[in-house]
A and B are shown apart, each in its own frame.
Chain A
Amino acid sequence: MSSKNEQQSLESKKKVNSHNPTLATLLSFVPGLGQYYNRRYIKGSILFILFAAFIIAFYDFLNIGYWGLFTLGTVPRIDDSRVLLSQGIISLILTAFALTFYVANIIDARKDAKRIQEGWTIPSMKDAFRDAWDKGFPYLLVGPGLFLLVFVVIFPLLYMVFIAFTNYSLYNSPPRHLLSWVGFDNFKALITMPIWRKTFFTVLSWTVIWTAVATSLQIGLAMFLAIIVNDPRVRFKRLIRTVLILPWAVPAFVTIIIFSAIFNDNFGAINRDIIIPLFGGDGIPWLTDPFWTKVALISIQTWLGFPFVFALFTGVLQSISSDWYEAADIDGANRWQKFSNITFPHLMFATAPLLIMQYAGNFNNFTIIYLFNQGGPAVRGQNAGGTDILISWVYKLTFETSNFNMAAAISILLGLMVATFAFFQFRKTKSFKEEGNY
């Protein structure tokens, strides 16, 4: 008896164990087969049909895409390297999507097989659907947005990145010529060729100074004004706030063009109606001396940029509870102590991420540099203007001298700099560290 029982249980165990997860995994290398083996026929069929449909629908496209990505075309005029490059990138993106699903399919088959081996019964179709719906709903909502985002954001970025590794310039422009891959040559040229290197580092150093000084000043000014205006003894608060926010209300490009007119060395109001009557002399060479142009730019950016930060700080200041200050008063704290221990930390805690974005924004603030003086004035022996920041230099390289490859290479470096900067700053910001605490 006992032996018979044992045999039966062994048999049933054997039956359960005979479902082999490895086999399911291997089978699902062709999507759907693994699911068939798991006896989930509908799921398997859907996966297989999707797989077949993908291959049939995109086979030609992917074929040309990859071929184009590697060769960038072989026959000038008939092959357009730029089109092939974009097809190649789209193929890469499609492949990435397909691979994600492919791997998910293998993992799914393996997981189901393991569960079956452990005696799990396959759910009925209705249950399976409900289960999938419950788990998958958020992804279903996010999916279309994500898909679009990939084509709107990732695709152009990749295109720019790839151009940096080609020889796309005025003398080698499609459709007459084909592009070819040149590896890191453009980056090498930027660092090794004297004319590029000299200009690159001059422009980079001004870009850094510009970002640091202009942004810090705009934040400093905003903080100073916000704290003053927030003082309970100040009257007509609303009027003052409105006035202070006005610079923000006028479109920046209009303001900048007007400023470039009133900073004109001979005809501008600043020299003519302020500096010369007050101090005499010939006025300050605002647009012809690089130093004074830089001063003018930083002042204008401070003026343009502070209202936003001011509005931000005003909001935060009002949310600081007066209990804190009362407690501080009881402890006998002075003004400076109250500011440095209560006001300042509160301000920074709430606004740091936005302030970092101010720095990143000024790093690439093309509008003001270009509209004010086109990056001028000229500096002898340098092929960028005296106030060109990296982004305006890139613009000139692209649209004035058609150095597309170099412009793309510099853009990559620019992007990396901003990204690193932002990444480390965000990580150090308390508001992000403590995000999970709420």
Chain B
Amino acid sequence: MFKKSTLLTLVLMLVFSLMLAACGPQREEAQPTPAPAETGDATTDDATDADLPAKPESLTMWVNDEESQLQAYEEITAKYEAERGITVNIVPFSMLDQLDALSLDGPAGLGPDLFFHPHDRVGSIHLQGLAAELEVTEEMLAGYPEGAIQALSYEGFQYGIPAVIETYGLFYNTDLIPEAPQTMDELVEIAKGLTNAANDEYGFLMEATNFYFTYPFLAGPGGYVFGRDAEGGYNIEDIGLGNEGAVQGGQLIQSWFEEGLIPRGITGDVMNGLFRQGKVGAVVTGPWSIPDYVADLGDKLKVTTLPTIDGKNLNSFSGVKGWFVSEYSENKYWATDLALFITNATNGEHYFNVAGEIPARTDVTIEDELRNGILAQAEFAEPMPNVPEMSQVWTPMGDALQFISNGEDVAEVLQEAVDQIAEQIALTAGN
């Protein structure tokens, strides 16, 4: 046994050295990772094989966990493997849970190379810094609709490659409405003729208190969500939902309720139920309803564009779902390559055939009358604003539409909603 005093000194020395050394992680003053060079035209224009980054063994992608979608991507990525020699791992992952998971998995190195998300959270993806700014050329983006590309970019950065596009249209039952109504006035006339609320029979139904579906009627006469600034970005200070046009649109919506064309308690479930029973002439909904409707109505179902107001086509909201390269991916080049590959014309068409979702391509022809109706409307569709401030718009506008349906003063209610949106935006930004 050695002397107590020696032991004591040793131990004390140990303790003190530990205390002194305790001052955070040891690292060289780390440089913030340089942002990927702004679309280096020089290097990517004529990239020969020698310039390309080394091929990785495999790439991982998170695919929305729906069976048909998984199946489609398994078939498509098999082709990619054959062509490029890179294995693609598909992980089933619910689309709406992907962002939350990525924000933790990505930094920890567990995330995927590619993830799939709707465009309306691009702003939030940007704020959290989850997606890589893509190095893509115009040539690579040829074949995708301009609006879809815009929807997946934010503050001048291209964040995603469009895969699927979605909007809503007018679905009608040829038993009740043989000819597609062209104008809003026409539709209202038809609705007046068919509506018999006591028997639950209606000419025209829609979720008229849901801002997503009512937007075109507010926007048709001149309303808008956010104005545009000089560079084409959204100006969140300029909210156009209380202007003259929007009020006019609001009054139109209110008139449907006042004349009893649309009942006050309308919900999606009620609307779908009645339409499928054949009691409704026309409804406004999206392609996701097609399988159910066809099952009940069969050939009687037709889809067309929304009716015009004053000769102008209505701009429905569209949603674009796209593939994003994770900021934490180590193979950004090849991940981008994979994203472009799985959304090209051939594969887009294949995806449509298997999963039934409309590909965001201008060069794909679709042999499906119902989806073609939606596609026709998609020409007039505008993507929902993808700024994070959009999340403050839904609730106040939904509330405002509720008040409108209850017969309150449209101008007043819309102005209140606009004030509330502005206030909420200021509040969250201030925090």
Contacts and interface: CB of A to CB of B under 8 A. Distances in A.
Contact of B25 (A67, A170, A193, A285): A67
B431 A405 contact: yes
A406 B104 CA distance: 21
Interface in B1-58: 4, 7-8, 11-12, 14-15, 18, 21-25, 30, 32-33
B264 A266 contact: yes
Nearest to A172: B431
Contacts of B8: 27, 30, 33
Contact of A76 (B32, B266, B398, B428): B32
A378 B104 contact: no
B429 interface: yes
B263 A193 contact: no
B129 A287 contact: no
B379 interface: no
A401 B391 CA distance: 6
Interface string B251-281: 0000000000001111101100000000000
A80 B25 contact: no
A264 B265 contact: yes
A170 B388 contact: yes
A402 interface: yes
A406 B431 CA distance: 9
Interface in B409-425: 413, 416, 420, 423-424
A172 B431 CA distance: 8
Contacts of B267: 264
Interface in A235-286: 261, 264-268, 285
Interface stretch (A58-66, A154-162, A313-321): A58-66
A30 B15 contact: yes
A428 interface: no
A402 B11 contact: no
A271 to B, nearest CB: 9
Given A30-B15, A169-B431, A174-B103, A288 B127 contact: no
A381 B416 CA distance: 7
Contacts of B178: none
Contacts of A78: 30, 32-33
Contacts of A261: 269
B18 A59 contact: yes
Interface in A364-389: 376-378, 380-381, 383
A377 B11 CA distance: 68
Nearest to A289: B406
Contacts of B263: 265-267
A175 B107 contact: yes
Interface string B104-128: 1011100000000000000010011
Nearest to A55: B18
Contacts of A405: 431
B196 to A, nearest CB: 14
A37 B7 CA distance: 12
Given A264-B265, A288-B406, A403-B431, A30 B128 contact: no
Q: How large is the interface on A (under 10, 10 to 19, 20 to 34, 35 or more residues)?
A: 35 or more
A175 B18 contact: no
A50 to B, nearest CB: 14
Contacts of B413: 380
A176 interface: yes
Contact of A171 (B21, B130, B431): B431
Interface in B297-314: none
Contacts of A27: 8
B230 interface: no
A99 interface: no
Nearest to B197: A266
Contacts of B295: none
A67 B265 CA distance: 56
Contacts of A350: none
A294 to B, nearest CB: 17
A83 interface: yes
Contacts of B429: 171
B363 interface: no
A64 B431 contact: no
Contacts of A30: 8, 11-12, 15
A111 B103 CA distance: 52
B431 A167 contact: yes
B124 to A, nearest CB: 7
Interface in A280-324: 285, 287-288
Contact of A175 (B30, B106, B200, B420): B106
A-B pairs with lowest CB-CB distance, top 4 = A176-B129, A378-B399, A265-B265, A266-B265
Interface of B: 4, 7-8, 11-12, 14-15, 18, 21-25, 30, 32-33, 103-104, 106-108, 124, 127-130, 200, 263-267, 269-270, 388, 391-392, 394-396, 398-399, 402-403, 406, 413, 416, 420, 423-424, 427-429, 431
Given A36-B4, A266-B270, 5 more contacts: A83-B107, A169-B428, A173-B127, A268-B265, A381-B420
